[in-house]
Amino acid sequence: MDAQSKISHLRRPRRLRKSKSLRALVEETTISTNDLIMPLFVIDGKNKSEPIESMPGCKRLTIDYLIKECLEIAQLEIAAVALFPSLEASLKTENGDEALNKETLILRAVRKVKKAVPELTIITDIALDPYTSHGHDGVLNEKKTDVDNDKTVEILAKMAVLHAEAGVDIVAPSDMMDGRIEAIRNSLDNAGYNETSILAYSAKFASSYYGPFRDAVGSASAAGTNLLDKITYQLNPANRLEAMIETELDEIEGADILMVKPAGPYLDIIRELRNETTLPVAAYQVSGEYAQIHAAAKLGWLDLEKTRDESLLSIKRAGADMILTYFAKDVAQKIKNINLPTLENLPDQDFGEGI
């Protein structure tokens, strides 16, 4: 055997893979409940949960059921929930007026959840797509050809203050309007909510993976299609450098956390952002990513649990500090080795009128 062969055999990486305990010692990336954020959908009414057909295992919940779900999530030590409203069609208008109603569904939900589970961090979406009759994230211009950036930002800044008043810990602008982070930060500070954090959807791409979510919040039915084109304000999936410009601007404007959405198809963006910023980096494993894993598992083509766990590990390994994922509760139950009862089997509790 020549000298080069002898040297190459001095390094045998498989030595560190030969047992479970040894593999655990050298494991570089792990998922904990502290990494997870659970997105939840809320509807009006009482004692009702509506399955979301395109998102197996996910439901739209009335506030009483939402509270029970949040109690379970806190018990599992999941760090936070992200709440999204699904409104009746009659409440949707061209300008999304319901977003500025102090008694709108999402604000009533926040007050109740915050009173019942005060230790749970609450994140809410700051965008108009759940409130508009056309399904876009802002108000349209006079010609109805595009979203009016500055008029939308004015509404979003007011909306963020209402959410802070209701007790939201983190407001999360998902609209991708120019300048909205600075406007929201200024509005929050001027209203005395300087401790309310901003999680910016900084690199949100005009992705094909959002369809099930649009079904869940009803923006798809409002628009007449879940294939709604938002390319004039969401990022071109082909553009890496543009994503870095967006994230840099959001950091300069006062964002506390920067997010990449979707997560799985954009691991390169997560990694580059992690290398460029000292701020926490979030990633959203979106509805389409969740749905495709479930669909392939249902057909017997993939192992659901192993694929789920691998997908989350890849997002964490790429550099995400926190992950919004519809798998959060299932993964937390596995980590904690806890099997919780279904919502329907939990006892009723009176949480009053909230804060």
Dist. CA 340–CA 355, nearest whole Å: 28
41: buried, middle or exposed (CB in 10 Å: 19+, 13-18, 0-12)?
Answer: buried
CATH architecture under which domain 28-345 falls: Alpha-Beta Barrel (3.20)
Q: Which residues contact 90 (CB under 8 A, 6 or more apart)?
A: none
**From first to last of its 355 residues, what are the pLDDT tens digits of the chain?**
565 656 667 888 999 999 999 999 999 999 999 999 999 999 999 999 999 999 999 999 999 999 999 999 999 999 999 999 999 999 999 999 999 999 999 999 999 999 999 999 999 999 999 999 998 999 999 988 899 999 999 999 999 999 999 999 999 999 999 999 999 999 999 999 999 999 999 999 999 999 888 888 866 544 455 456 899 999 999 999 999 999 999 999 999 999 999 999 999 999 999 999 999 999 999 999 999 999 999 999 999 999 999 999 999 999 999 999 999 999 999 999 987 766 555 555 554 544 3
232: tokens are 């004039």
Alpha helices in 41-148 (DSSP H): 63-75, 105-116
Q: What is the pLDDT of residue 338?
A: 82
| Distance, first Cα to last Cα, the chain | 77
Q: Is there a contact between 156 and 127 (Cβ–Cβ < 8 Å)?
A: yes
- Just list the catalytic residues: 204, 261
Q: Is there a contact between 153 and 183 (Cβ–Cβ < 8 Å)?
A: yes
Q: What is the pLDDT of residue 340?
A: 72
